[in-house]
Chains A and B, each alone.
Chain A
Amino acid sequence: MTSYKRKNIFIIAYSILILFSFIVLIPFLFIIIHSLMPPEQIQVAYGALGQDLIKFQFWPEKVSLRQYLRVFSDGILEWYFYYNNTIVLAVPILILTLLFSVFSGYGLSKFKFRGKKKLLTIYLIFLLLPTQVMLVPFFIFFNKLDLMGSRFPLILFCTGSPFGTFLLYQFMKTIPSGSIEAARIEGANEWKIFWKIVLPQARPGVSSLIILTLIDCCSMIEQPFMLLKEKTQYPMSIMLKYLSESTIEYAFVLSVIFVFPLFLISFILQEELLTGIGFTVPQKVKK
């Protein structure tokens, strides 16, 4: 192939990708730009959303940070209350999911025992079942046991899903067994092998699990609706749902505030997230 033709292909491929990533980015830009509009402008533009024609506006008439100020200093709509609820849910879910999945991912990927393939198949089936479908038996079961009423069922429901296990199982399979066996021959006990050898190598997998779990926590809607009895325990995602239907002026600002920590975390863990996603694929380990 001539270098001229190569250059052409390169330019075409690159521009298609950039165009595509721009399409992906539009909603983000949209929400960030709209969070800078003064509340009155948004009220005029989108107040009729769902009933009548809206008056779409792309640029703010005048960039204002007044709404941010109001949200932070006046604590309008008591959003920090719901934010706190989200954190109270996310922290235990994250810690428990990590602990459970790291252990069982290691156990499944590096040990042989009977019935392993059957267990993995069962995990896979439950992994693929939609959350809403799993929610029904869980709700009935916990209602029967009379355990509803606190946050505990919701936290348990989110940690019991085998997704993390499966992800880390796929990832840990790519860790060469040689180093583990070497350590075992040297006389290291299983606990030490796990902490010193397996876990450091599994870092990308663990970081992508952290992000995926956090996202799941932040975007759940139906689970809190069904499993939380008190409205005061509702997380931010539900509050935003109502907000986008009633007071849309502040929905954009609160969305940005809500999404910002997630973006920050995924930006920090960006490199590891990409390798983490890539290597969860079953691949042949090169020898």
Chain B
Amino acid sequence: MKRKCSLKKKESWTGLLFIFPQLIAFLFVCMLPIILCFYYSITDRNGIIIGLLNYQELWASKTFLLAVKNTLYFGVIGVVFLIIISFILANLFHHIILLTAYNIKWLQSILILPMVMPSITAILFFRIIFDRGGVLNQWLDSSALYIHQEPYAFWILIFIYLWKNCGYCSVLMISALIGIDREQYEAARCDGASTIRQILHITLPQIKSSLLFSIIIAIIDVFKIFRESYLLMGEYPHESVYMLQNFILNNMETLNYPRLSAATLTFAALLSAIIIIFVYVSKVLDEGDEV
């Protein structure tokens, strides 16, 4: 019994040794700066501790609220669209694989190409299309549809987001779909289940974990799309696409540390709350530990 105990201890020490280098880097890049940030967020510009006043001020500011609202709105719409479209794409792929038993790798490789392209080169194309005097406006013979206009700015950004990430997410899902036992579909078909019921009762429960993982990737990409927005629309985009990152970058110019820190921490706290609930409800990190 004692020997087993010491073995376990040894194992956990080896594991800790392996994660040690990353942990140190992580500490310096993420943890310590955040702690310093917390200190800044409760002081004023002269370094006197003033409690939560910065946070109050932040939540009273209209631009901050607008940024939070826009980010949430964009996130929800973007993630829902992305997951639905990549699910459909993955199912089409799966269908072909089922019928011909041939995994079409070359099409998949094309679909993940946008991921391999640096944002700046893709933006070169999108600027020419979506500019005020751009191709789209000339074809439609108008000057309304462009990147600084009310509903279009938002949807153009959603379009770029989908263009960039659909491939990655559908490749993620395809490999989960391939793992499903084919006989289950045949059995269901024999019992007279419709395609929709097959998807609801066979496909979805079995790719649950990969669906959750694609949602994580999709959320990461929602925040990454800011780079495209920044390159396409500059530092002061239209109100409807004014994101949290815009807020932070604009405040960075004035070097208002307390306000910046408060914004960063508020954002981190909001996101952490969502993630912790997500992790403990979906048990996405538990799976595989039992294997």
Contacts and interface: CB of A to CB of B under 8 A. Distances in A.
A138 interface: yes
Given A27-B125, A113-B15, A258-B121, A137 B22 contact: no
A7 to B, nearest CB: 9
A109 B120 CA distance: 36
Contacts of B248: 132-133, 136
B36 A144 contact: yes
A52 interface: yes
B218 to A, nearest CB: 11
Contacts of A91: none
Nearest to B290: A284
B275 A128 contact: yes
A188 interface: no
B275 A138 contact: no
A134 B33 CA distance: 9
Given A100-B21, A137-B34, A211 B116 contact: yes
Given A125-B272, A283-B176, A241 B120 contact: yes
A103 B99 CA distance: 41
B291 A177 contact: yes
A106 B14 CA distance: 11
A52 B133 contact: yes
B268 A129 contact: yes
Contact of B21 (A104, A132, A263): A104
Interface stretch (A67-75, A76-84, A269-277): A269-277
Give the contact-size bracket for chain A. 35 or more
Interface in A101-116: 101, 103-104, 106-114
A170 B26 CA distance: 18
Chain B interface, DSSP helix/strand/loop, else mixed: helix
Contact of B109 (A10, A222, A274): A274
A141 B32 contact: yes
Interface string A39-66: 0000000101111111010000000000
Given A31-B124, A112-B12, A278 B174 contact: yes
Interface string A259-287: 10011001000110111011111111100
A138 B92 contact: no
B286 A117 contact: yes
Contacts of B132: 50
B110 A280 contact: no
Nearest to B96: A13
Contact of B29 (A108, A124, A133, A138): A138
B1 to A, nearest CB: 18
A274 B23 CA distance: 29
A134 B210 CA distance: 27
A204 to B, nearest CB: 11
Give the contact-size bracket for chain B. 35 or more
Contacts of A226: 252
A218 interface: yes
Contacts of B285: 117, 120-121, 124
B29 A10 contact: no
Contact of B231 (A141, A221, A255): A221
Contacts of A100: 21-22, 25
Interface string A140-180: 11101000000000001101111001000010011001000
B145 interface: no
A14 B18 contact: no
Contacts of B197: none
B133 A121 contact: no
Nearest to A218: B118
B30 A281 contact: no
A218 B271 CA distance: 27
Interface string A10-53: 10011011101101111110110000000000000010111111
A18 B210 contact: no
A161 B28 CA distance: 10
B110 A128 contact: no
B249 interface: yes
Contacts of A95: none
Given A222-B249, A279-B175, A282-B209, 12 more contacts: A16-B92, A20-B111, A49-B127, A54-B135, A111-B11, A113-B16, A117-B285, A121-B275, A127-B216, A137-B264, A140-B261, A218-B118
16 contacts: A13-B92, A48-B133, A49-B134, A107-B15, A121-B279, A125-B275, A125-B276, A133-B244, A133-B248, A133-B267, A138-B33, A140-B37, A162-B30, A215-B118, A244-B124, A278-B171
Sorted from nearest, which 7 A-B pairs have the closest CB atoms?
A111-B15, A160-B29, A278-B175, A107-B18, A137-B33, A130-B223, A219-B118
